[in-house]
A and B are shown apart, each in its own frame.
Chain A
Amino acid sequence: MATMKDLRGDVSTWCPGCGHFSIMAGIQKAIIELGYEPHEFAIISGIGCSGKVSEYIRSNGFHSIHGRSVPVAQGVKMGNPDLKVIASGGDGDGYGIGLGHFVHASRRNIDMSYIVMDNNIYGLTKGQTSPRSQHGFVTKSAATDNKEYPVDPISTSIINGATFVAQGYSGNIKELSNILKRAIEHRGFSHVNIYSPCVTFNKINTYDYYKENLVTIEQPFESRDEAVKSIRENNGLVTGILYEEHRDDFQTKLGIDFDMQSLESGKMDKELLNSIQKKFE
């Protein structure tokens, strides 16, 4: 069985106290407790502080580009359905530049997990407004306080057909690793948004703020509508599994007996060539 040491990759450069540490530990813990080996996973990350998670967890990491971890991860899963695939990124990565992919992944339902480290700010570029920054938020990148309203990520994935949607908080690692275990084992697209305080740049959404405001959801809601209603009533400040549905994932629905991997070096297949060539005669 894998140990924490087996899953330790490069040395972290995150700030002391960063919420991302707990999220990484939660992912590692989930892998261990579920009994997987590091090579059975592919962790595809985007860009930003969160993007470094693919380097810090010893696994098959793919540190991709800004906003594109989700399409790369889906391609990996299409290529090798046996891999457990996790895409990970931050709120800027996933809900700003990569929002389109997130919506489409939700409705497509490829069997993978998307874990978003949501710190409501752009951290690595030193503190600009993010698509998750709250209304009135003041940062150096905006001429005024934030006149826009934040993206509602968990309602978005629920409305668009994701089959597992949860929200966690990096200050509650016990709940978080349970959510992550369930998300990883869920067959289909699982989306986990995780509040992860940026201790350096975000002075609003702090550990104290979340401690005071988060409401725990004990049981997933029966319907998508009820889940969204609760999220809206609580101003998004909920944790727990909000919605889960069991239906065939994309590859099962496609029903193709995938044998994409087995190509060997050698001559082209003469019989196959001739059989297709006939269509052009």
Chain B
Amino acid sequence: MRQSIEWMVGGQQGEGIDSTGELFAKTLVKYGYSVSTYKQFMSRIKGGHSNFKLKATKERNYYAGDKIDILLCLDKESLEVNEGYLSDDAVVIREGKEISVTKNDGSMSYDILTVPMKKIATELGNPLAKNMIAIGISSALIDLPKDLLSHFISEIFAKKGDGVIQTNIQAVQKGYDLTNEHLSHRISSLEKSDKTDQLFISGNEATAFGSLMAGCRFLSAYPITPASEVMEWLAKELPAVGGTVMQVEDEIAGICFAIGANYSGVRAMTSTSGPGLSLKTEALGMAGMTEVPIVIVNSQRGGPSTGLPTKHEQSDLQQMIYGTHGEIPRIVLYPATIEDAFYIAAESFNLAEIYQCPVIVGLDLGLSMNKMTIPSFDHSRVNIDRGKLITNEEAAEYDEAFFKRYRLTDDGISPRPKPGMKNGLHLTSSNEHGEDGYISEDPELRVKMMRKRLEKVKNAMIQEPFKLQSSGDIKPEDADVLLVGMGSTYGAIGESMIQLNEEGNETYAHLHIQQLYPLPLNELTSLFKNKKIITVENNYNGQLLLLLRQYLPIHEHSDSIVQFDGNPFMIKTVLEQMKKVV
């Protein structure tokens, strides 16, 4: 009996690798399993090797795994590229002329089932159904109930009619038959699990969904990998709630439209990736200076410049925190999990309006594009708070012919009327300005306005429990060494920590920082006391450790584990590198 499975399908891009992977993943979710996935792909529409990896376990997992139990090869490279990850008793299924079962005779021992899937599918009347044969073979290998698959096939091909549904179901059946006939000795049932109330969702979808739930009604953006899905998902869902998405001419328009909409009183956002954020930074400064709220989602990919457009990296941290000329108020958040991406996206709209400043929600390709199972969202965990946005009646109480938009207040945050209010006529200016918004270069006023803007966010904090995340049984305060990360390294760090605690003499704990600017200094100061800090991050410079060193006393033996080859961390890489730094 198996209690977990690690599975991969590989093939040429455009061959339906994603949809095949997703179908298998959804089946496992319905079977009560917790599933994490990872997609590898290239910056081209068709051709080139791509693959879809998943790990399914009975317990919640956040990491698509290091090894492969079943590998479906729809192209040659699938085996060449991934052989090193095969587990000792793996089964490899590959396309070939004749049906055969062979044992790998090299250093590794795994079974290979060669099947002319294309030919069989063509005989069934639909060459495209070859992937379903492969799914049938792998499902039979773990003894999954066939009706689970039939259910999804009917759903997926509903629009294509009964004929297509039937051929695909027959293809799955064929797969089951092939396994029973040729690989029955390798069947090992996956124990039924009982997880219900689970969502299977990507980080981009969760971020977009959280934004919609927080009342965001407008997104303007430009297509860019790996952030486009945020725009695409909202484009589908916003019209039903009276909102809309605009795909505009460039990245700069993307942020400027959203700033305009926010100024008019709508919760609005833009989404992008590193190159887009570079283009947006002047307007980001405008939002900071004019104190117009805005939410910017930045899903990071491999940089610099065009870099590795379809690969994973976490190298925009400094750009998100420091990018733009001059000094502006801003808040930078970075969810550790897909679940938290939903709540943090929702909260980011509150923070943007409460503090009247840009809020950047950092994501990374690993978090953005891959789906995972998470518990259903809870509406009571987010309260919509529009801060000092005021009504026409409230504006009237000030009895001013021209409303002081930049009124100096104790907390640095000024009441904000919407344009169009009879009593709220006001000026918004990117030039240094006085309380009335009029241009001023008076040195005293300049100092007051700089302090107003920069000090209003000094203690800006996202509500609990979203500042920090951790995993495992050992609390961060009880450890000798803290493994610190951000974003999608959450699963790999968590699982590495468990192994480190089994092997090592020191006690390790896991901390993920979700509010990166301003940092929660009080909590971190006490957590970091007398502990070695090892940051685990996907960039060259160890940007997270550099940030922490800037603001906090850090143990002298602290260090960074970095990886910037375009791939996410694997547990074995973390463990190998740990040996060098501890």
Contact = CB atoms under 8 A, between A and B. Distances in A.
A40 B237 CA distance: 31
B286 A64 contact: yes
Interface stretch (B51-59, B120-128, B239-247, B569-577): B239-247
Nearest to A75: B260
Interface string A103-114: 110000000000
A169 interface: no
B257 A10 contact: no
A62 B429 CA distance: 6
B241 A265 contact: no
A1 interface: no
Interface stretch (B207-215, B311-319, B447-455, B476-484): B207-215
Interface in A246-281: 254, 256-261, 263-270, 272-273, 276-277, 280-281
A37 B242 contact: no
Given A76-B261, A101-B249, A267-B382, A39 B425 contact: yes
A149 to B, nearest CB: 24
Contacts of A78: 218, 220, 244, 246, 257, 260-261, 264, 266
Contacts of A9: 402, 427, 438
A264 B379 CA distance: 15
A277 B197 CA distance: 10
B418 interface: yes
A280 B205 contact: yes
A194 interface: no
Contacts of A54: 427, 429
A44 interface: yes
A103 B214 CA distance: 34
B377 interface: yes
A136 interface: no
Contacts of B285: 65
Interface stretch (A79-87, A210-218, A235-243): A79-87
Interface in A193-244: none
Interface string B396-434: 000000100000000000000011111011111111000
Interface in B235-267: 237, 239, 241-244, 246, 248-250, 252-253, 256-267
Interface string A46-84: 010000101100111111110010011111111110110
A89 interface: no
B297 to A, nearest CB: 17
A244 to B, nearest CB: 24
Contacts of B248: 71, 104
B200 interface: yes
B427 A266 contact: no
Contacts of B578: none
Given A62-B290, A268-B346, A38 B283 contact: no
A194 to B, nearest CB: 23
B581 interface: no
A100 interface: yes
B522 interface: no
A261 B402 CA distance: 23
Interface in B470-519: none
A82 B290 contact: no
A31 interface: no
B265 A79 contact: yes
* Interface range for A: 35 or more
A50 to B, nearest CB: 14
A100 B379 contact: no
Nearest to A71: B256
A42 interface: yes
B376 interface: yes
Nearest to A38: B425
B217 interface: yes
A54 B266 CA distance: 22
B380 interface: yes
Contacts of B419: 39, 42, 60, 62, 76, 80, 83
Nearest to B212: A276
Contact of B430 (A65, A79, A258): A65
A238 B205 CA distance: 52
Contact of A64 (B268, B382, B421, B430): B430
B286 A75 contact: no
Contact of A65 (B282, B376, B422): B282
A257 to B, nearest CB: 6
Interface residues of B, number: 70
B418 to A, nearest CB: 7
B384 interface: yes
Contacts of A60: 419-420, 425-428
B386 interface: yes
A256 B244 contact: yes
A257 B217 CA distance: 12
Contacts of B424: 39
B65 interface: no
A39 B261 CA distance: 17
A267 B422 CA distance: 29
Given A62-B290, A71-B256, A265-B383, A104 B249 contact: yes
B263 A39 contact: no
Nearest to A61: B427
B250 A100 contact: yes
A79 B256 contact: no
B201 interface: yes
B286 A65 contact: yes
A259 B259 CA distance: 18
- Scoring A55, A80, A100, A268 by chain B CB atoms within 10 A of each residue's CB, the highest score goes to A268
A99 B198 CA distance: 49
Nearest to B423: A39
A63 B215 CA distance: 27
Contacts of B427: 9, 54-55, 60-63
Nearest to A84: B420
Contacts of A103: 249
A61 B385 contact: no
Nearest to A87: B260
A79 B428 contact: no
Contacts of B237: 276
A209 B79 CA distance: 76
Contacts of A73: 260
B239 A256 contact: yes
Contacts of B429: 54-55, 61-63
B220 A75 contact: yes
Contacts of B220: 75, 78
A63 B241 contact: no
Nearest to B238: A256
Contact of B252 (A40, A68, A257, A269): A68
Contacts of B256: 64, 68, 71-72, 75, 101
B257 A268 contact: no
Contacts of A75: 218, 220, 256-264, 268
B267 A55 contact: no
B439 interface: yes
B430 A63 contact: yes
Given A55-B437, A76-B260, A104-B249, 11 more contacts: A61-B428, A64-B286, A72-B259, A75-B262, A76-B419, A78-B257, A100-B253, A104-B248, A265-B386, A268-B379, A281-B200
Interface of A: 9-10, 37-40, 42, 44, 47, 52, 54-55, 58-65, 68, 71-80, 82-83, 100-101, 103-104, 254, 256-261, 263-270, 272-273, 276-277, 280-281
The 6 closest A-B pairs by CB, nearest first: A75-B260, A79-B264, A71-B256, A60-B419, A75-B257, A79-B261
5 contacts: A71-B256, A79-B263, A79-B265, A104-B248, A276-B213
